[in-house]
Structure 1
Amino acid sequence: MALPDLDTSVGHSFGLEIDGIVIKQISEVSGLKMEQEAIELKQNTPDGKYVIKKLPGRPKAGEVTLTRGLTADNSFEKWVKDAQFGKMADARKGGAIIVYDYEGNPLKRYKLMNAWPKSLEIGALKAGDTSVLTEKLVITYEQLEVE
């Protein structure tokens, strides 16, 4: 059931799906953004005034960062290795960040086209620290579509 017109979603109910496989335990998604270039057209009006018009340009590729607690799951590492060794046919994947409503139904899907992992970062290791150890995966994508 969709949200009523005046209700909004909350930022804690989301999931990640890569090539139909749901990746669990994602704690944060950041950098999800649709952007395109702006083209400046400089010209004079018929009465001689200088104006600058902004026109839509090409869409820009983007990057999204996924954070999760470190577990025995090595799917991120395997995906990064494919990209590092140039196996781009295996590394480029389609995926989606899915936002759910209060009842757990999909509200929006942010589809990532031709996505591949750019980097994997493990959180700081500190003696005596009691915080959760995390891994951050930066995924670059060629196009973002919203459904």
Structure 2
Amino acid sequence: MAQFTQNPNRLDPYKNFKFRVRFGNDVVAGVSKVGALKRTTEVVKHRDGGDFSSSRKSPGRTEYEAITLERGVTHDREFQNWARAAQAFNVVGSSPEQMGLGNFRKDIIIELYNESGQKVLAYKVYRCWVSEYQALPDLDANANAVALEHIKIENEGWELDESVTEPKEPDATPR
């Protein structure tokens, strides 16, 4: 049975250019690109003892791929500080203050907005930590580009935030 929504006239899918990333309640400034949310479930093959011709398949372990966040280089040190917390986690002889255990893992939220700026989807990503940090890209005097920093975030799963529902979009008919 078809599920009715608040906006049954919307036929177009949402665009991928209006989004926000949050570390807890704080919006991360300047994020221009977020990698895909992707999970893969292993296939476990098995065969019945009397069945010689075919195998059966069942789901195994699920893995969540790392997510990349990219933004222009500024004086905001949020990416660098989070990456440093993960780096210090395994340093032998680090004091608990240096290890940054309170900041090592974060839950993040990725929000998608419609053309009117209304939040339409949100995903909660759990127990994230930085496995790769790029402070500066290749620098090229002949290029015409923005300097970008990026972090690669490992995570232990994500889910759709069911509390975010489809909003009633504003009426765009001329008056």
Q: Do both share a fold (TM > 0.5)?
A: yes
Listed one character per residue, the Cα deviations across residues 90-120 of structure 1 (whole Å, up to 9, x for unaligned) are 2101011111112212211121100011111
Question: Structure 2 matches for 1:45-124, cutoff 5 A?
Answer: 48-86=51-89, 87-121=100-134, 122-124=136-138
Aligned to 1:77, the other structure's residue is in SS state helix
Q: 1:27 aligns with which of 22, 32, 35?
A: 32
Aligned to 2:60, the other structure's residue is in SS state strand
Q: 1:17 aligns with which of 11, 19, 22?
A: 22
Listed one character per residue, the Cα deviations across residues 69-108 of structure 1 (whole Å, up to 9, x for unaligned) are 1111111001111110003442101011111112212211
Q: CA deviation at 1:41?
A: 1.7
User: Would you tell me which structure has more strand in proportion to its own residues?
Assistant: 1
Letter in 1 for 2:158: L
Q: What is the aligned partner in structure 2 of residue 134 from structure 1?
A: 148
Letter in 2 for 1:97: I
Letter in 2 for 1:74: R
Letter in 2 for 1:29: V
Task: Structure 2 unaligned segments of length 5 or more: list them.
Answer: 90-99, 162-175
Aligned to 1:51, the other structure's residue is in SS state coil
Q: TM-score, normalised by structure 1?
A: 0.88
Distance (Å, rounded) in 2 between the aligned partners of 1:3 and 1:124? 46
Aligned to 1:127, the other structure's residue is in SS state coil
Q: CA deviation at 1:60?
A: 0.9
Identity %: 27
Q: CA deviation at 1:130?
A: 2.6
Listed one character per residue, the Cα deviations across residues 24-49 of structure 1 (whole Å, up to 9, x for unaligned) are 2111111321222221122356xx44
Count of residues in correspondence between the two structures: 145
Q: 1:12 to 1:3 in 2, by over 3 A?
A: farther
User: Residues 24 and 107 of structure 2 are in contact (CA less than 8 Å); yes or no, is this contact kept in structure 1?
Assistant: yes
Aligned-residue Cα RMSD (Å) equals: 2.0
Q: Which runs of 4+ in 1 moved over 2 A?
A: 1-7, 42-45, 127-130
Distance (Å, rounded) in 2 between the aligned partners of 1:131 and 1:31? 23
Letter in 1 for 2:85: D
Distance (Å, rounded) in 2 between the aligned partners of 1:133 and 1:40? 47
